[in-house]
Each structure stands twice: as structure tokens, then as C-alpha cells.
């Protein structure tokens, strides 16, 4: 039987789709049934039972600019990367980097640092971790890396660009935080408004439970908390917004969807 080029093309495409499906299933073989069911083979994933967090995908040429509400001496960054669905997991992870530039109110460069991290997927780590994914992509999201950077005096904003990354990395995402600028009264209110679980997390370094802390201790703890800040400009032009969804692979029970604290607009 003679096959036309069209028929041969369809056969090749069918074979490639089968291979891709096999790779996708293999990448989820360590997930529970509940977590794996969130990932759709058609490229659209269910998000009903997932928590969500807003992050910003860095561009290698256009800086994503974050403006602080006041002068900040320390910045906290959470970074992660999107990994191609067919990337092998029998590696030591993926190296990626980004450059952060500290700027004064008039735009003068006060300092510039290149930050490099090693991305890992939850299934590659002994302690595991939540499954993190996107709504309309089968790329896998690495566990977040945390970085603290001392900002030069006079810093008003910062600009971040993506640097080189290992093969398999689709994009680099960041989330930027500043210290809560709180008065004494505001610090007390901020602490008391938090849930018992959040209070325990804030006081994890203390030998005493939250309900035994004095007012000064509560204010001190609240001032050590971080607030996310968002970039300036128009989404899609000045920055690229990405929503990451997260679910615990060990939890098959439906979860209440919780939106992460919205970043403060400059």
C-alpha cells in the first residue's frame, strides 16, 4: 500500500503525541491521584483545588521594575523557574540567574548584583514538596529559592532582568518583598489580624507560643514580616504576570482556594 506524504505526516505526528503523553505520565508517577488529576493532558490544568500565587516572569532585555514604598535596606526575593515538560529529571537540577540593579529616586545606579540559583523539582528532592503548575501550560514549576539582599542606602526601586539558564528552563519567575512599614499601633493590628497558624509561623524562632507574647514582642514580630510589592507599568508591556497554582501531592481532599496576598502597586 502506498502512503501519501499527508498520511505519513499524520502517522509521525501521532507517534510524537504518544511519546509526549508517555513522558508526561512518567513525570507524574510520584504524584497522588488527587494531585495528578489536576494536570490535564490537553494543556489546560484544573485549578479548582489549588492555591495560587502571582509572580513575574523576567525578560532578558527589559528590566522588571519594582518601586518600594520607602527607602529599604533589605530586599527578599523568591525565585523559581518553569521547566519544560520533557526535560529529564535525572540531573542535579538547573542553574539559572538574574541581575538585580538598585536605583535611586532619580534613576542613578547604586549597586548591581548577579544572583545564581539551582532549581529543583519537588519530585527530585527527598522532602518532596507541593506540586506547582500553570493554568495553560504543561511546564513544571521548580521549588522556590529564597534570597536576601542588602540594598544600598538611598534605594528607591530595583530593576531585575533574566540571565542565562541551563537547557530545559523555559522562564524565570520572581516575587519581591519589602519589610512592612508599620507604626506601633499598625504593628499590633497586623499581628492580631493574622490567623493562629500565621502567628505561629511568625514566632517560630521564639521559645514562647504567640498567645503568651507581650505587646512589645508582638510589635517586633510584626515588623519583621514581609510584604510583596508589584512592578510598575502595564501588564504585558512593562512586565509579564504569571499565576502559579500549588497543591499538596499528598492531600487528595479538596482544598479551599486561597489567593496569596496581592502585591502592593507602586
Residue 8: the pLDDT is 46
Comparison of pLDDT for 51 and 221, the residue scoring more: 51
pLDDT bracket for residue 114 (50, 70, 90): very high
Residue % of the chain over a pLDDT of 90 = 35
Q: Which of 108 and 31 is assigned the larger pLDDT?
A: 108
**C-alpha distance across the termini of the chain, in Å:** 67
- Tell which residue, 27, 263, 18, 257, has the closest CA to residue 141: 27
Nearest to 158 by CA among 64, 54, 71, 238: 64
Q: Per residue in 166-198, pLDDT tens?
A: 999 999 999 998 876 555 565 556 566 666 766
| Cβ(80)–Cβ(173) below 8 Å | yes
Supply the angle between the helices 215-223 and 184-193 in degrees, to the nearest 10.
90
pLDDT tens readout for residues 135-160:
888 888 999 999 999 899 899 999 99
pLDDT confidence of residue 185: 63
CB count, 10 Å around CB of 187? 21
Give the pLDDT of residue 19: 40
Amino acid at each position: 500500500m502506498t502512503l501519501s506524504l499527508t498520511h505519513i505526516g499524520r502517522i509521525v505526528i501521532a507517534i510524537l503525541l504518544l511519546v509526549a503523553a508517555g513522558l508526561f505520565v512518567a513525570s507524574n508517577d510520584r504524584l497522588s491521584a488527587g494531585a495528578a488529576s489536576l494536570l490535564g493532558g490537553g494543556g489546560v490544568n484544573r485549578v479548582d483545588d489549588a492555591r495560587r500565587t502571582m509572580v513575574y516572569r523576567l525578560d532578558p532585555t527589559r528590566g522588571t521594575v519594582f518601586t518600594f514604598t520607602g527607602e529599604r535596606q533589605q530586599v527578599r526575593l523568591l525565585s523559581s523557574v518553569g521547566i519544560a515538560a520533557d526535560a529529564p529529571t535525572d540531573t542535579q537540577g538547573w542553574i539559572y540567574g538574574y541581575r538585580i540593579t538598585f536605583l535611586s529616586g532619580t534613576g542613578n545606579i547604586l549597586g548591581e548584583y548577579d544572583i545564581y540559583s539551582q532549581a529543583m523539582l519537588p519530585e527530585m528532592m527527598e522532602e518532596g514538596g507541593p506540586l506547582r503548575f500553570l493554568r495553560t501550560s504543561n511546564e513544571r514549576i521548580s521549588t522556590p529559592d529564597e534570597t536576601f539582599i542588602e540594598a544600598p542606602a538611598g534605594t528607591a526601586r530595583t530593576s531585575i532582568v533574566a540571565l542565562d539558564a541551563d537547557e530545559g528552563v523555559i522562564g524565570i519567575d520572581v516575587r519581591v518583598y519589602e519589610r512592612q512599614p508599620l507604626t506601633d499601633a499598625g504593628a499590633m493590628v497586623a499581628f492580631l489580624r493574622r490567623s493562629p497558624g500565621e502567628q505561629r509561623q511568625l514566632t517560630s524562632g521564639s521559645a514562647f507560643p504567640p498567645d503568651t507574647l507581650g505587646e512589645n514582642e508582638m510589635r517586633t514580630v510584626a515588623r519583621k514580616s514581609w510584604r510583596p510589592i508589584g512592578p510598575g507599568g502595564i501588564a504585558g508591556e512593562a512586565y509579564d504576570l504569571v499565576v502559579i497554582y500549588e497543591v499538596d501531592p499528598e492531600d487528595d481532599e479538596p482544598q479551599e482556594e486561597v489567593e496569596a496576598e496581592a502585591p502592593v502597586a507602586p
